[in-house]
Structure 1
Amino acid sequence: MHAVRPLKVEFCGEWYTVEEGAPFTIGRESDLTIDDNPYLHRTFLTLSSEFGLWWLSNVGQLLSATVSDATGSVQAWVAPGAKLPLVFQTVHVMFSAGSTTYDFTVHAEEDFYNTSLTAEPADGGTTILPVTLTTSQRQLVVALAEHVLSQPVAGRATVPTSAEAAGRLGWSMTTFNRKLDNVCEKLDKIGVDGLRGGRGKLATNRRARLVEYAVATRLVSADDLALLDRGADGEAEEARA
């Protein structure tokens, strides 16, 4: 079986080389030390070579990771105990521990697949298949993802509390919670894992998971930050529509 080429891992502007052999560990006390966050496992993820491929394994017991390709059109949720083969030249990994969201990028030298945001229908035309959000729903997602989207160098950012995000938008908590429920229900129906839960249950995890999915799949981007300045206008526009 042929040897696999080394991987390059980029985190907070620093680069790490991953060679064949012992697994490369990622966590609170690992080869790649993410942070001293007590909510983060000492070893959370590993990169290892097996069967001629590189694999990302979740060796933690509580946290999950969101993995996407460079375009955001392919996304997977890696739960505790799961492992995923890395078949794209660029892979983004996001996860949350407590109120902080982290992300790093894995670069491969192998001739792996590339992906596209578009699908080709039978008539030869091109269609883009996004999740449709109303203006106020998009405002909510951007308010939660603001710190991730606005950070100058990817690596770590905090996810605001519901009260902080509602205040940022000028909404009442009742309005914010209702719209958060609506967004999570909409994404849950299309198969997005990690968002289901009763009212008030796992609220922090649900917000963090929503941010991970929205940023990883390019559901929102830095271009959407201008929506935050519209405050309650988005809801008013929908009411008039």
Structure 2
Amino acid sequence: MSGVEPRVVESRPDRLTVEFAGEIFDVEPSQTFTVGREGDLAIDDNLFLHRQFLTIERVGGLWILSNVGSRLSATVTDSGSRVQAWLAPGARLPLVFAATTVIFSAGPTTYELTIHAAEPTFRETQTIDDESDGLSTIGEVPLTASQKLMILALAEPMLRREGTGMSELPTSAQAAQRLGWTLTRFNRKLDNVCDKLDRIGVPGLRGGVRSFATNRRVRLVEHAIAARLVTREDLPLLDEERDANGDEDA
């Protein structure tokens, strides 16, 4: 038997890491970790993105995620999409799960990062069977097949990329072409879905006319990915729809 002792990796209960685009960043309890165009995690040279948008810091024994930007918001969800929060400018949120996903958009680009806690405050104790009479997940909302296809066409770039990172969302015209639909039909489905989600309390899908067309698309994709309204397994439906018809139907 070898006399070489195995290496022991120190386990720190306050250990927190941020994963983005295949890179891992350690967050020290004594620091304020910043995310934005500049900072500890300099995401992208995107002028729509704040220089400093999000911060992570240890306060009173809890890790806190804060939105220090002035315009952008972020969608925050646990790994199972059971809990979802909208982090508006000035808002703060404790990071209590083992894995927390953060999704946000700046201009036409959507970003996703994951925050991992070594010793989460909240631990899952049981898994609810999807077919049981247990509590519904936040993502459960009735969608028609065509409404799901519309969301899928917008979310395709995010679903196709590996892991966390960034993706450029298609325009409505590009997404309509992907499905073989007319732009009129696509926009009608987009209106219907945004109205439906707005009625059940999903924020950010209604607002003023300024930049609303772009804002609601990116916000819809943020919510759909976080709530798993569409997943990577749904992607073959896009080719099936495109091959099946290019006709406009009601």
Give the structure-2-normalised TM-score.
Answer: 0.86
Aligned to 2:195: 185
Give the alignment of 1:117-136 within 5 angstroms.
Answer: 118=128, 125-126=133-134, 128-129=136-137, 130-136=140-146
- Please report the RMSD computed on the Cα atoms of aligned residues, expressed in angstroms: 2.6
Distance 2:186 2:100 in 1: 32
Aligned to 2:88: 79
State the Cα deviation string for residues 148-171 of structure 1 (Å, max 9, x = none): 001123201111001100111111
Aligned to 2:66: 57
User: What SS is found at the alignment partner of 1:153?
Assistant: coil
The amino acid across from 1:154 in the alignment is T
Distance 1:28 1:140 in 2: 31
Aligned to 2:108: 99
Aligned to 1:147: 157
Give the alignment of 1:139-218 within 5 angstroms.
Answer: 139-197=149-207, 202-218=212-228
Aligned to 2:78: 69
Decide which structure has the larger Cα Rg and report it.
2
TM-superposed deviation, 1:111: 3.7
Distance 2:121 2:227 in 1: 20
Question: Which is further off, 126-135 or 184-193?
Answer: 126-135
TM-superposed deviation, 1:125: 4.3
Aligned to 2:98: 89
Pick from 232, 236, 243 the counterpart of residue 222 of structure 1: 232
Aligned to 1:42: 51
Between the two proteins, what is the percent identity of the paired residues? 54
User: What SS is found at the alignment partner of 1:22?
Assistant: coil
TM-superposed deviation, 1:197: 3.2
TM-superposed deviation, 1:118: 3.9
Distance 1:58 1:29 in 2: 15
TM-superposed deviation, 1:26: 0.3
Give the structure-1-normalised TM-score.
Answer: 0.89
Aligned partners of 1:99 and 1:208 also within 8 Å:
yes
Question: Which is further off, 225-234 or 177-186?
Answer: 225-234
Unaligned 5+ runs, structure 2: 1-11
TM-superposed deviation, 1:88: 0.7
Aligned to 1:25: 34
TM-superposed deviation, 1:231: 2.5
TM-superposed deviation, 1:199: 6.8
Question: Which is further off, 111-120 or 182-191?
Answer: 111-120
Aligned partners of 2:69 and 2:90 also within 8 Å:
yes
Whether 1:231 aligns to 2:241 is yes
TM-superposed deviation, 1:114: 3.8
